[in-house]
Structure 1
Amino acid sequence: MARTTDVTPAALILAGSRPGAPDPLADYAGVAHKALIELDGKTLLARVTAALRRAGIDRIAVSADHPAVVVEALRLSLQVIAPAAGPSGSVAAGLSALGAPLLVTTADHALLRPEWVTRFVADVPAGTDAAVLLARRDVVEAAAPATRRTWLRFADGHWSGCNLFLLATPAAGEAIGLWSQVEADRKRPWRIVRRLGPGLLLRYLLGRLTLGAALRHLGARAGIHAAAVASPYGLAAIDVDKPADLDLVRTLVTR
Protein backbone atom coordinates (compact mmCIF):
# COMPACT_ATOMS: atom_id res chain seq x y z
CA MET A 1 0.00 0.00 0.00
CA ALA A 2 1.05 3.58 -0.45
CA ARG A 3 2.67 5.21 2.50
CA THR A 4 0.58 7.81 4.25
CA THR A 5 3.70 9.94 4.75
CA ASP A 6 7.25 9.98 3.41
CA VAL A 7 8.49 11.80 6.52
CA THR A 8 10.26 9.65 9.11
CA PRO A 9 8.16 9.88 12.27
CA ALA A 10 9.36 10.86 15.69
CA ALA A 11 8.65 8.31 18.42
CA LEU A 12 7.18 8.49 21.89
CA ILE A 13 7.71 5.69 24.42
CA LEU A 14 5.13 5.58 27.19
CA ALA A 15 6.76 4.74 30.54
CA GLY A 16 4.63 6.53 33.10
CA SER A 17 3.93 5.29 36.60
CA ARG A 18 0.46 4.29 37.71
CA PRO A 19 -0.62 6.07 40.88
CA GLY A 20 -1.41 4.05 43.97
CA ALA A 21 -0.03 0.65 44.91
CA PRO A 22 3.40 -0.51 43.69
CA ASP A 23 3.52 -2.30 40.34
CA PRO A 24 3.42 -6.06 41.08
CA LEU A 25 5.45 -6.76 37.94
CA ALA A 26 8.26 -4.45 39.06
CA ASP A 27 8.16 -6.09 42.48
CA TYR A 28 8.30 -9.54 40.86
CA ALA A 29 11.37 -8.52 38.85
CA GLY A 30 13.00 -6.74 41.79
CA VAL A 31 13.29 -3.34 40.11
CA ALA A 32 11.93 0.13 40.81
CA HIS A 33 9.86 0.32 37.61
CA LYS A 34 9.01 -2.23 34.95
CA ALA A 35 10.77 -0.16 32.28
CA LEU A 36 13.99 -1.06 34.13
CA ILE A 37 13.50 -4.84 33.96
CA GLU A 38 16.54 -6.35 32.24
CA LEU A 39 16.44 -8.83 29.38
CA ASP A 40 19.66 -10.09 27.86
CA GLY A 41 21.60 -7.39 29.71
CA LYS A 42 19.44 -4.43 28.60
CA THR A 43 16.55 -2.68 30.29
CA LEU A 44 13.19 -2.84 28.53
CA LEU A 45 13.47 0.88 27.84
CA ALA A 46 16.89 0.38 26.25
CA ARG A 47 15.61 -2.52 24.11
CA VAL A 48 12.66 -0.49 22.79
CA THR A 49 14.91 2.50 22.12
CA ALA A 50 17.40 0.35 20.22
CA ALA A 51 14.66 -1.15 18.03
CA LEU A 52 13.32 2.30 17.15
CA ARG A 53 16.76 3.59 16.26
CA ARG A 54 17.47 0.57 14.09
CA ALA A 55 14.18 1.34 12.33
CA GLY A 56 15.66 4.70 11.32
CA ILE A 57 13.96 6.87 13.94
CA ASP A 58 16.28 9.47 15.44
CA ARG A 59 13.90 11.72 17.41
CA ILE A 60 12.75 9.66 20.37
CA ALA A 61 11.16 10.85 23.60
CA VAL A 62 9.95 9.00 26.66
CA SER A 63 6.96 9.93 28.78
CA ALA A 64 8.21 9.21 32.29
CA ASP A 65 8.21 10.61 35.79
CA HIS A 66 9.87 7.93 37.92
CA PRO A 67 13.33 9.25 38.87
CA ALA A 68 15.11 5.99 38.03
CA VAL A 69 13.43 5.82 34.62
CA VAL A 70 14.34 9.44 33.92
CA VAL A 71 17.99 8.66 34.74
CA GLU A 72 17.91 5.69 32.34
CA ALA A 73 16.25 7.83 29.65
CA LEU A 74 18.96 10.47 29.93
CA ARG A 75 21.63 7.76 29.73
CA LEU A 76 20.01 6.67 26.46
CA SER A 77 19.96 10.28 25.20
CA LEU A 78 16.17 10.39 25.11
CA GLN A 79 14.06 13.50 25.45
CA VAL A 80 11.96 13.29 28.62
CA ILE A 81 8.36 14.51 28.58
CA ALA A 82 6.37 14.65 31.80
CA PRO A 83 3.38 12.29 31.62
CA ALA A 84 -0.15 13.59 31.87
CA ALA A 85 -3.26 11.92 33.29
CA GLY A 86 -3.51 8.53 31.59
CA PRO A 87 -1.88 7.30 28.38
CA SER A 88 -4.08 9.49 26.18
CA GLY A 89 -3.01 12.63 28.04
CA SER A 90 0.63 11.62 27.73
CA VAL A 91 0.22 11.03 23.99
CA ALA A 92 -1.35 14.49 23.65
CA ALA A 93 1.66 15.99 25.43
CA GLY A 94 4.00 14.03 23.17
CA LEU A 95 2.20 15.14 20.02
CA SER A 96 2.38 18.74 21.17
CA ALA A 97 6.12 18.46 21.82
CA LEU A 98 7.18 16.33 18.85
CA GLY A 99 4.53 16.97 16.20
CA ALA A 100 3.24 14.59 13.54
CA PRO A 101 3.95 12.05 12.25
CA LEU A 102 4.42 10.45 15.66
CA LEU A 103 4.88 6.76 16.37
CA VAL A 104 3.72 5.73 19.84
CA THR A 105 4.76 2.59 21.68
CA THR A 106 5.34 1.44 25.26
CA ALA A 107 8.40 0.68 27.36
CA ASP A 108 7.10 -2.83 28.07
CA HIS A 109 7.18 -3.79 24.36
CA ALA A 110 10.07 -6.08 25.21
CA LEU A 111 10.35 -7.94 21.90
CA LEU A 112 9.97 -4.92 19.61
CA ARG A 113 11.92 -5.31 16.37
CA PRO A 114 12.76 -2.66 13.77
CA GLU A 115 11.07 -4.54 10.93
CA TRP A 116 7.77 -4.45 12.80
CA VAL A 117 8.03 -0.67 12.94
CA THR A 118 9.04 -0.13 9.34
CA ARG A 119 6.44 -2.58 8.01
CA PHE A 120 3.69 -0.92 10.07
CA VAL A 121 4.53 2.58 8.84
CA ALA A 122 4.78 1.35 5.24
CA ASP A 123 1.42 -0.46 5.43
CA VAL A 124 -0.61 2.48 6.77
CA PRO A 125 -3.02 3.42 3.93
CA ALA A 126 -2.54 6.77 2.21
CA GLY A 127 -4.76 9.49 3.64
CA THR A 128 -4.89 7.98 7.12
CA ASP A 129 -4.69 10.35 10.09
CA ALA A 130 -4.29 7.71 12.82
CA ALA A 131 -3.52 4.00 12.64
CA VAL A 132 -3.18 1.14 15.08
CA LEU A 133 -1.30 -2.13 14.63
CA LEU A 134 -3.08 -5.37 15.57
CA ALA A 135 -2.44 -9.08 15.04
CA ARG A 136 -4.95 -11.84 14.41
CA ARG A 137 -5.27 -14.58 16.98
CA ASP A 138 -4.05 -17.33 14.66
CA VAL A 139 -0.91 -15.33 13.85
CA VAL A 140 -0.20 -14.62 17.52
CA GLU A 141 -0.77 -18.18 18.69
CA ALA A 142 1.36 -19.61 15.89
CA ALA A 143 4.26 -17.47 17.10
CA ALA A 144 3.67 -17.90 20.85
CA PRO A 145 1.31 -20.79 21.65
CA ALA A 146 1.77 -20.27 25.40
CA THR A 147 0.55 -16.68 25.44
CA ARG A 148 -2.74 -15.74 27.05
CA ARG A 149 -4.33 -12.60 25.64
CA THR A 150 -7.58 -10.68 25.81
CA TRP A 151 -9.00 -10.82 22.29
CA LEU A 152 -11.05 -8.19 20.48
CA ARG A 153 -13.71 -10.32 18.80
CA PHE A 154 -14.99 -9.03 15.46
CA ALA A 155 -16.52 -10.55 12.35
CA ASP A 156 -13.15 -10.72 10.60
CA GLY A 157 -11.39 -12.50 13.44
CA HIS A 158 -10.11 -12.16 16.97
CA TRP A 159 -7.46 -9.47 17.36
CA SER A 160 -4.84 -8.36 19.87
CA GLY A 161 -3.27 -4.93 20.02
CA CYS A 162 0.45 -4.61 19.30
CA ASN A 163 1.23 -1.42 21.24
CA LEU A 164 2.15 0.49 18.10
CA PHE A 165 0.20 3.54 16.97
CA LEU A 166 0.88 6.11 14.28
CA LEU A 167 -0.45 9.65 14.53
CA ALA A 168 0.27 10.40 10.90
CA THR A 169 -1.07 13.93 10.65
CA PRO A 170 -1.77 16.81 13.05
CA ALA A 171 -5.48 16.02 12.68
CA ALA A 172 -4.86 12.82 14.66
CA GLY A 173 -4.88 15.00 17.76
CA GLU A 174 -8.66 15.16 17.38
CA ALA A 175 -8.82 11.44 18.18
CA ILE A 176 -6.99 11.70 21.49
CA GLY A 177 -10.10 12.88 23.30
CA LEU A 178 -11.97 9.84 21.98
CA TRP A 179 -9.01 7.66 22.97
CA SER A 180 -9.36 8.82 26.57
CA GLN A 181 -13.04 7.82 26.51
CA VAL A 182 -12.35 4.28 25.36
CA GLU A 183 -9.22 3.58 27.45
CA ALA A 184 -11.22 2.07 30.28
CA ASP A 185 -13.11 -0.19 27.85
CA ARG A 186 -10.18 -1.28 25.67
CA LYS A 187 -10.68 -4.95 26.60
CA ARG A 188 -14.47 -4.82 26.23
CA PRO A 189 -15.08 -3.86 22.59
CA TRP A 190 -18.86 -4.01 22.83
CA ARG A 191 -18.76 -1.02 25.18
CA ILE A 192 -16.66 0.89 22.68
CA VAL A 193 -19.01 -0.01 19.82
CA ARG A 194 -21.97 1.07 21.94
CA ARG A 195 -20.70 4.64 21.66
CA LEU A 196 -21.32 4.47 17.91
CA GLY A 197 -25.05 3.89 18.21
CA PRO A 198 -27.50 1.01 18.45
CA GLY A 199 -27.18 0.02 14.79
CA LEU A 200 -23.48 -0.75 14.96
CA LEU A 201 -23.85 -2.32 18.40
CA LEU A 202 -26.44 -4.72 16.97
CA ARG A 203 -24.11 -5.59 14.08
CA TYR A 204 -21.36 -6.30 16.60
CA LEU A 205 -23.57 -8.47 18.80
CA LEU A 206 -24.69 -10.42 15.72
CA GLY A 207 -21.07 -10.97 14.70
CA ARG A 208 -21.35 -8.85 11.57
CA LEU A 209 -19.10 -5.89 12.44
CA THR A 210 -15.50 -6.00 11.24
CA LEU A 211 -12.66 -4.37 13.12
CA GLY A 212 -11.90 -2.09 10.19
CA ALA A 213 -15.49 -0.86 10.00
CA ALA A 214 -15.54 -0.17 13.74
CA LEU A 215 -12.35 1.89 13.52
CA ARG A 216 -13.58 3.81 10.50
CA HIS A 217 -16.73 4.78 12.38
CA LEU A 218 -14.76 5.72 15.49
CA GLY A 219 -12.48 7.86 13.37
CA ALA A 220 -15.41 9.53 11.63
CA ARG A 221 -16.85 10.42 15.01
CA ALA A 222 -13.61 12.25 15.80
CA GLY A 223 -13.50 13.82 12.33
CA ILE A 224 -10.45 11.87 11.13
CA HIS A 225 -9.57 8.88 8.97
CA ALA A 226 -8.55 5.97 11.23
CA ALA A 227 -7.32 2.57 10.12
CA ALA A 228 -6.27 -0.79 11.54
CA VAL A 229 -3.15 -2.43 10.13
CA ALA A 230 -2.76 -6.19 10.42
CA SER A 231 0.67 -7.36 11.53
CA PRO A 232 2.17 -10.53 10.03
CA TYR A 233 4.36 -10.79 13.15
CA GLY A 234 2.58 -12.61 15.95
CA LEU A 235 5.19 -11.72 18.55
CA ALA A 236 4.34 -8.05 18.03
CA ALA A 237 1.31 -8.61 20.27
CA ILE A 238 3.43 -9.77 23.22
CA ASP A 239 4.10 -7.14 25.87
CA VAL A 240 4.97 -7.42 29.55
CA ASP A 241 1.98 -6.64 31.75
CA LYS A 242 2.21 -9.38 34.36
CA PRO A 243 4.71 -11.92 35.74
CA ALA A 244 3.54 -14.65 33.34
CA ASP A 245 4.27 -12.32 30.41
CA LEU A 246 7.76 -11.67 31.71
CA ASP A 247 8.44 -15.39 32.12
CA LEU A 248 7.24 -16.00 28.55
CA VAL A 249 9.34 -13.18 27.13
CA ARG A 250 12.42 -14.40 28.96
CA THR A 251 11.90 -17.81 27.41
CA LEU A 252 11.47 -16.34 23.93
CA VAL A 253 14.58 -14.18 24.28
CA THR A 254 16.61 -17.18 25.43
CA ARG A 255 15.46 -19.15 22.39
Structure 2
Amino acid sequence: MTASVPTILVLAGKRDGALDPLADRAGVSHKAVIPVAGKPLISHVLGRIEEAWDDAKIIVSIHDAHVLDHVAIVRRLREAGRLEIVEAQGGLVDSVDAAARTAEWPLLITTGDNALVTVDALHTINAVGDERGADAVIGVVSREAIQAAYPYKQKGFYEFRDVAISNCNLFWLRDRRALAAAEPFRGGGQFAKRKGELRRAFGLMSLIRFRFKMDTLDGTMRRLSRRFGVPMAAYLFEDGRLAIDVDNEESFRATEELMAADANSA
Protein backbone atom coordinates (compact mmCIF):
# COMPACT_ATOMS: atom_id res chain seq x y z
CA MET A 1 0.00 0.00 0.00
CA THR A 2 1.32 3.42 -0.96
CA ALA A 3 0.41 6.13 1.54
CA SER A 4 -0.94 9.44 0.29
CA VAL A 5 1.37 12.44 0.43
CA PRO A 6 0.21 14.44 3.48
CA THR A 7 0.00 18.12 4.17
CA ILE A 8 2.48 18.79 6.98
CA LEU A 9 1.56 21.26 9.71
CA VAL A 10 4.43 22.58 11.82
CA LEU A 11 3.23 24.17 15.06
CA ALA A 12 5.73 26.90 15.96
CA GLY A 13 3.73 29.35 18.04
CA LYS A 14 4.25 30.46 21.60
CA ARG A 15 2.81 28.23 24.31
CA ASP A 16 0.02 30.19 26.00
CA GLY A 17 1.31 33.25 24.11
CA ALA A 18 4.21 33.59 26.57
CA LEU A 19 7.90 34.13 25.81
CA ASP A 20 9.75 30.83 26.07
CA PRO A 21 12.78 30.85 28.43
CA LEU A 22 15.05 29.46 25.70
CA ALA A 23 13.88 32.19 23.32
CA ASP A 24 14.40 34.81 26.01
CA ARG A 25 17.96 33.59 26.59
CA ALA A 26 18.68 33.71 22.85
CA GLY A 27 17.18 37.21 22.50
CA VAL A 28 14.41 36.17 20.07
CA SER A 29 10.63 36.25 20.34
CA HIS A 30 9.95 32.65 19.27
CA LYS A 31 11.68 29.43 20.28
CA ALA A 32 11.40 28.21 16.67
CA VAL A 33 14.30 30.46 15.63
CA ILE A 34 16.75 29.94 18.48
CA PRO A 35 20.12 28.70 17.17
CA VAL A 36 20.58 24.95 17.53
CA ALA A 37 23.72 23.35 16.10
CA GLY A 38 24.34 26.48 14.06
CA LYS A 39 20.89 26.83 12.47
CA PRO A 40 17.48 28.20 13.47
CA LEU A 41 15.65 25.41 15.29
CA ILE A 42 12.80 25.14 12.79
CA SER A 43 15.30 24.70 9.94
CA HIS A 44 16.13 21.21 11.19
CA VAL A 45 12.45 20.22 11.14
CA LEU A 46 11.76 21.68 7.71
CA GLY A 47 14.89 20.06 6.33
CA ARG A 48 13.68 16.58 7.30
CA ILE A 49 10.23 17.27 5.86
CA GLU A 50 11.77 18.42 2.58
CA GLU A 51 13.84 15.23 2.45
CA ALA A 52 10.77 13.10 3.12
CA TRP A 53 8.59 14.57 0.35
CA ASP A 54 9.59 16.85 -2.49
CA ASP A 55 5.99 17.79 -3.30
CA ALA A 56 4.17 17.98 0.03
CA LYS A 57 2.48 21.19 1.10
CA ILE A 58 3.87 22.60 4.36
CA ILE A 59 1.98 24.93 6.71
CA VAL A 60 3.79 26.72 9.53
CA SER A 61 1.61 28.05 12.36
CA ILE A 62 3.34 30.88 14.23
CA HIS A 63 2.26 34.04 16.04
CA ASP A 64 4.54 36.42 14.13
CA ALA A 65 5.44 35.41 10.57
CA HIS A 66 8.16 38.04 10.34
CA VAL A 67 10.42 36.13 12.73
CA LEU A 68 10.90 33.60 9.90
CA ASP A 69 12.03 36.19 7.35
CA HIS A 70 15.71 35.41 7.91
CA VAL A 71 15.31 31.61 7.84
CA ALA A 72 16.76 30.51 4.49
CA ILE A 73 14.78 27.28 4.10
CA VAL A 74 11.51 29.10 4.85
CA ARG A 75 12.24 31.68 2.15
CA ARG A 76 13.17 29.00 -0.37
CA LEU A 77 10.12 26.83 0.28
CA ARG A 78 7.81 29.85 0.12
CA GLU A 79 9.31 30.96 -3.19
CA ALA A 80 8.75 27.42 -4.52
CA GLY A 81 5.09 27.67 -3.51
CA ARG A 82 5.38 24.80 -1.05
CA LEU A 83 5.18 26.60 2.28
CA GLU A 84 2.38 28.72 3.72
CA ILE A 85 2.48 30.61 7.01
CA VAL A 86 -0.70 30.98 9.07
CA GLU A 87 -1.21 32.88 12.29
CA ALA A 88 -1.19 30.76 15.44
CA GLN A 89 -4.22 31.04 17.69
CA GLY A 90 -4.64 31.16 21.45
CA GLY A 91 -4.42 27.41 21.99
CA LEU A 92 -2.98 24.34 20.31
CA VAL A 93 -6.28 22.92 19.05
CA ASP A 94 -7.45 26.32 17.80
CA SER A 95 -4.17 26.66 15.89
CA VAL A 96 -4.69 23.25 14.30
CA ASP A 97 -8.27 24.15 13.40
CA ALA A 98 -7.16 27.39 11.75
CA ALA A 99 -4.35 25.78 9.77
CA ALA A 100 -6.52 22.86 8.68
CA ARG A 101 -8.80 25.21 6.73
CA THR A 102 -6.22 25.40 3.94
CA ALA A 103 -4.87 21.87 4.26
CA GLU A 104 -5.34 18.89 2.01
CA TRP A 105 -5.77 15.56 3.78
CA PRO A 106 -4.28 13.56 5.38
CA LEU A 107 -2.68 16.03 7.78
CA LEU A 108 0.61 15.20 9.50
CA ILE A 109 1.30 17.44 12.50
CA THR A 110 4.64 18.08 14.16
CA THR A 111 6.26 20.95 16.03
CA GLY A 112 8.90 23.55 15.28
CA ASP A 113 11.09 22.24 18.11
CA ASN A 114 11.09 18.60 16.92
CA ALA A 115 14.68 18.88 15.69
CA LEU A 116 15.55 15.17 15.87
CA VAL A 117 12.64 13.99 13.74
CA THR A 118 13.70 11.64 10.95
CA VAL A 119 12.55 10.96 7.41
CA ASP A 120 11.76 7.39 8.40
CA ALA A 121 9.56 8.55 11.30
CA LEU A 122 7.64 10.94 9.04
CA HIS A 123 7.04 8.22 6.45
CA THR A 124 6.07 5.69 9.12
CA ILE A 125 3.47 7.81 10.94
CA ASN A 126 1.96 8.69 7.57
CA ALA A 127 1.55 5.02 6.65
CA VAL A 128 0.33 3.66 9.99
CA GLY A 129 -3.19 5.12 9.75
CA ASP A 130 -4.02 3.13 6.64
CA GLU A 131 -2.27 0.04 7.91
CA ARG A 132 -4.23 0.04 11.18
CA GLY A 133 -7.51 1.41 9.88
CA ALA A 134 -7.23 4.46 12.14
CA ASP A 135 -8.36 8.02 11.49
CA ALA A 136 -5.95 9.50 14.04
CA VAL A 137 -2.48 8.27 15.02
CA ILE A 138 -0.15 9.53 17.73
CA GLY A 139 3.54 8.63 17.71
CA VAL A 140 5.00 7.59 21.06
CA VAL A 141 8.27 6.20 22.45
CA SER A 142 8.86 4.04 25.52
CA ARG A 143 10.70 5.29 28.60
CA GLU A 144 13.39 2.64 28.09
CA ALA A 145 14.05 3.76 24.50
CA ILE A 146 14.30 7.40 25.55
CA GLN A 147 16.68 6.67 28.41
CA ALA A 148 18.81 4.56 26.07
CA ALA A 149 19.03 7.50 23.65
CA TYR A 150 19.84 10.07 26.33
CA PRO A 151 19.92 9.74 30.16
CA TYR A 152 17.11 12.17 30.95
CA LYS A 153 16.70 13.42 34.49
CA GLN A 154 13.64 15.65 34.08
CA LYS A 155 11.37 14.07 31.47
CA GLY A 156 7.94 12.93 32.62
CA PHE A 157 6.10 9.91 31.25
CA TYR A 158 2.56 8.70 30.79
CA GLU A 159 2.34 5.31 32.49
CA PHE A 160 0.08 2.47 31.37
CA ARG A 161 -0.21 -1.09 32.57
CA ASP A 162 2.18 -2.35 29.92
CA VAL A 163 4.43 0.59 29.07
CA ALA A 164 5.50 4.08 30.12
CA ILE A 165 5.65 6.45 27.18
CA SER A 166 6.27 9.98 26.01
CA ASN A 167 4.85 11.41 22.81
CA CYS A 168 7.21 12.39 20.01
CA ASN A 169 5.26 15.33 18.58
CA LEU A 170 4.08 13.36 15.57
CA PHE A 171 0.36 13.18 14.90
CA TRP A 172 -1.57 12.07 11.82
CA LEU A 173 -5.20 12.83 10.95
CA ARG A 174 -7.01 11.22 8.03
CA ASP A 175 -9.65 13.91 7.46
CA ARG A 176 -11.46 16.84 9.04
CA ARG A 177 -13.68 14.56 11.11
CA ALA A 178 -10.56 13.23 12.81
CA LEU A 179 -9.96 16.68 14.33
CA ALA A 180 -12.17 15.48 17.18
CA ALA A 181 -9.20 13.40 18.29
CA ALA A 182 -7.30 16.61 19.06
CA GLU A 183 -9.75 17.53 21.82
CA PRO A 184 -7.58 16.03 24.62
CA PHE A 185 -4.85 18.53 23.70
CA ARG A 186 -7.06 21.64 23.86
CA GLY A 187 -5.45 22.61 27.17
CA GLY A 188 -1.93 22.34 25.77
CA GLY A 189 -1.35 18.64 26.24
CA GLN A 190 0.11 18.93 29.75
CA PHE A 191 -2.51 16.64 31.25
CA ALA A 192 -0.27 14.94 33.78
CA LYS A 193 -0.21 18.28 35.62
CA ARG A 194 -3.77 19.46 34.80
CA LYS A 195 -6.23 17.03 36.33
CA GLY A 196 -9.27 19.19 35.59
CA GLU A 197 -8.51 19.25 31.89
CA LEU A 198 -7.80 15.52 31.79
CA ARG A 199 -11.15 14.81 33.45
CA ARG A 200 -12.99 17.15 31.08
CA ALA A 201 -11.42 15.64 28.00
CA PHE A 202 -11.30 11.96 28.91
CA GLY A 203 -14.10 11.57 31.46
CA LEU A 204 -13.93 10.57 35.10
CA MET A 205 -13.72 6.80 34.58
CA SER A 206 -10.94 7.14 32.04
CA LEU A 207 -9.09 9.43 34.44
CA ILE A 208 -9.37 6.85 37.22
CA ARG A 209 -8.23 4.03 34.96
CA PHE A 210 -5.30 6.12 33.75
CA ARG A 211 -4.20 7.16 37.24
CA PHE A 212 -4.20 3.57 38.50
CA LYS A 213 -2.62 2.10 35.34
CA MET A 214 -5.61 -0.17 34.74
CA ASP A 215 -5.38 -0.12 30.94
CA THR A 216 -2.75 -0.98 28.40
CA LEU A 217 -1.76 1.65 25.85
CA ASP A 218 -3.82 -0.03 23.12
CA GLY A 219 -6.74 -0.44 25.51
CA THR A 220 -6.66 3.27 26.24
CA MET A 221 -6.68 4.05 22.53
CA ARG A 222 -9.78 1.87 22.08
CA ARG A 223 -11.49 3.66 24.98
CA LEU A 224 -10.64 7.08 23.53
CA SER A 225 -11.82 5.96 20.09
CA ARG A 226 -15.25 5.20 21.55
CA ARG A 227 -15.37 8.46 23.50
CA PHE A 228 -14.53 10.73 20.57
CA GLY A 229 -16.08 8.65 17.80
CA VAL A 230 -12.79 8.53 15.90
CA PRO A 231 -10.71 5.36 15.42
CA MET A 232 -7.42 6.22 17.16
CA ALA A 233 -4.11 4.37 17.42
CA ALA A 234 -0.75 4.87 19.09
CA TYR A 235 2.37 3.83 17.21
CA LEU A 236 5.32 2.86 19.40
CA PHE A 237 8.57 3.97 17.75
CA GLU A 238 11.81 2.27 18.73
CA ASP A 239 14.00 5.37 18.28
CA GLY A 240 14.06 7.13 21.65
CA ARG A 241 15.52 10.30 20.14
CA LEU A 242 12.15 11.07 18.56
CA ALA A 243 10.78 12.10 21.95
CA ILE A 244 13.52 14.66 22.55
CA ASP A 245 12.13 18.03 21.48
CA VAL A 246 13.89 21.27 22.38
CA ASP A 247 11.72 22.18 25.34
CA ASN A 248 14.14 23.20 28.11
CA GLU A 249 17.83 23.47 28.91
CA GLU A 250 18.29 19.72 29.31
CA SER A 251 16.63 18.82 26.01
CA PHE A 252 18.46 21.67 24.26
CA ARG A 253 21.77 20.24 25.47
CA ALA A 254 20.70 16.70 24.55
CA THR A 255 19.75 17.75 21.02
CA GLU A 256 23.03 19.53 20.35
CA GLU A 257 25.06 16.63 21.79
CA LEU A 258 23.23 14.06 19.68
CA MET A 259 23.57 16.19 16.54
CA ALA A 260 27.29 16.59 17.19
CA ALA A 261 27.66 12.84 17.64
CA ASP A 262 25.89 12.29 14.31
CA ALA A 263 28.17 14.77 12.58
CA ASN A 264 31.30 13.14 14.01
CA SER A 265 30.19 9.66 12.92
CA ALA A 266 29.24 10.71 9.37
Per the shorter chain, which TM-score range? 0.7 to 0.9
Q: How many residues align?
A: 252
SS in 2 for 1:117: helix
1:132 equivalent to 2:138? Answer yes
Aligned counterparts of 1:23 and 1:119: Cα–Cα separation in 2: 31
Please point out which of 48, 55, 73 is paired with 2:52: 55
SS in 2 for 1:89: helix
How many Å apart are 1:247 and its aligned residue? 1.6
Give the conservation status (yes or no) of the 8 Å contact 1:132–1:228: yes
**Residue number in structure 2 paired with 1:8:** 5
* Greater mean deviation of Cα atoms: 214-223 or 43-52: 214-223
**1:120–1:231: 8 Å Cα contact kept in structure 2?**
no
Separation in 2, partners of 1:28, 1:217: 42
Q: What are the residue-to-residue correspondences of 1:68-107 with 2, within 5 Å?
A: 68-71=66-69, 72=71, 73-77=74-78, 78-107=83-112
In structure 2, relative to structure 1, the CA distance for the partners of 1:142 and 1:189 (3 Å cut) is farther
Aligned pairs (5 A) from 1:163-242: 163-180=169-186, 183-185=189-191, 192=198, 196-197=202-203, 199-242=205-248
Residue by residue, what CA displacement relative to the aligned partner does 1:190-234 show, whole Å, maximum 9, x if unpaired?
963685455444443443211222222222222110110101110
Aligned-partner Cα distance in 2 for 1:189–1:144: 29
CA distances 1:6-39 after superposition (whole Å, capped 9, x unpaired): 2111100001124565321112233332111223
Taking structure 1 as the reference length, what is the TM-score of the superposition?
0.87
CA distance in 2, matches of 1:228, 1:194: 21
1:157 aligns with 2:157: no
- Cα 1:84–1:22 change in 2 (3 A) is closer
Question: In 1, are the aligned partners of 2:19 and 2:29 still within 8 Å (CA)?
Answer: no
Distance 1:194 1:27 in 2: 33
Cα separation, 1, equivalents of 2:168 and 2:76? 27
Is residue 32–residue 68 contact of structure 1 (8 Å, CA) maintained in 2? no
User: Given the alignment of the two structures, is residue 143 of structure 1 paired with residue 156 of structure 2, yes or no?
Assistant: no
Gaps of 5+ in 1: none
Q: Which residue of 2 aligns with 1:29?
A: 26
Does the 8 A contact of 1:190 with 1:204 survive in 2? no
Checking the alignment, whether the CA contact within 8 Å between 1:190 and 1:201 is kept in structure 2 is no
Given the superposition, is the C-alpha separation of residues 28 and 181 from structure 1 closer, same or farther in structure 2, using an over 3 Å criterion?
closer
1:230 aligns to what SS in structure 2?
strand
Cα distance in structure 2, aligned partners of 1:83 and 1:204: 31
Decide whether aligned partners of structure 1 residues 117 and 142 sit closer, same or farther in structure 2, where only a CA change above 3 A counts. Answer: same
SS at match of 2:256: helix
CA distances 1:167-197 after superposition (whole Å, capped 9, x unpaired): 1223212333443157352556896368545
SS of structure 2 residue aligned to 1:120: helix
**Deviations 1:53-78 (CA, angstroms, capped at 9, x unpaired):** 11116211100122443423445422
Distance 2:235 2:7 in 1: 19
Which runs of 5 or more residues in structure 2 are unaligned?
Answer: 262-266
Partner secondary structure for residue 80 of structure 1: strand
Identify if the C-alpha distance between structure 1 residues 92 and 194 changes in structure 2 by more than 3 Å, giving closer, same or farther. closer
Q: Find 2:116's aligned residue among 88, 107, 111.
A: 111
With 24-33 and 124-133 compared, the bigger mean Cα shift is at 24-33
- Residue matched to 2:264: none
Distance in structure 2 (CA, Å) of the matches to 1:20 and 1:6: 35
Contact 2:141 2:167 in 1 (8 A): yes
In structure 1, the residue matched to 2:258 is: 252
